[in-house]
Amino acid sequence: MDDSPQTAPAVLTGPELLRLRRVADRDEIRQLAFRYAWGLDSRDVAAVASLYLPDLGSGSGGPDAMLRRFHRSMSAVGVTILFVGNHLIDFDSDDDAHGLVYCRGYIEPRDSPHPGRYIEQAILYRDTYRRHEGVWKFVARSHELWYGIETAERPLHQRAARWPLHHDGVGTVPYGEASWREFWGEHPDVAAPGSGAGSASEEALPDG
pLDDT the model gives residue 72? 94
pLDDT in tens, 174-202: 999 999 999 999 998 877 887 543 444 44
pLDDT the model gives residue 11? 78
pLDDT the model gives residue 205? 41
* Beta strands at 96-109 and 119-132: parallel, antiparallel or unpaired: antiparallel
User: How many Å apart are CA 94 and CA 84, to the nearest integer?
Assistant: 25
pLDDT the model gives residue 198? 40
Q: What is the pTM of this model?
A: 0.85
pLDDT the model gives residue 202? 46
pLDDT the model gives residue 48? 97
pLDDT the model gives residue 9? 66
pLDDT the model gives residue 168? 94
What are phi and psi for residue 207, nearest 5 degrees?
-60, 150
Distance in angstroms between the alpha carbons of the first and the last residue of the chain: 67
CA distances from 6 to 1, 10, 13, 165 (A): 13, 12, 21, 63
pLDDT the model gives residue 16? 75
Domains and CATH numbers, the chain: 15-156 (3.10.450.50)
Let me know: does 166 contact 140? Beta carbons within 8 Å: no
User: How many Å apart are CA 88 and CA 102, to the nearest integer?
Assistant: 9
What are phi and psi for residue 57, nearest 5 degrees?
80, 10
B/e letters for 43-67, b = 16+ CB within 10 Å, e = fewer, are: bbbbbbbebbbeeeeeebebbeebb
For the chain, which ranges sit under pLDDT 50?
A: 196-208
Please count the other Cβ atoms lying within 10 Å of the Cβ belonging to residue 99.
21
pLDDT the model gives residue 204? 43
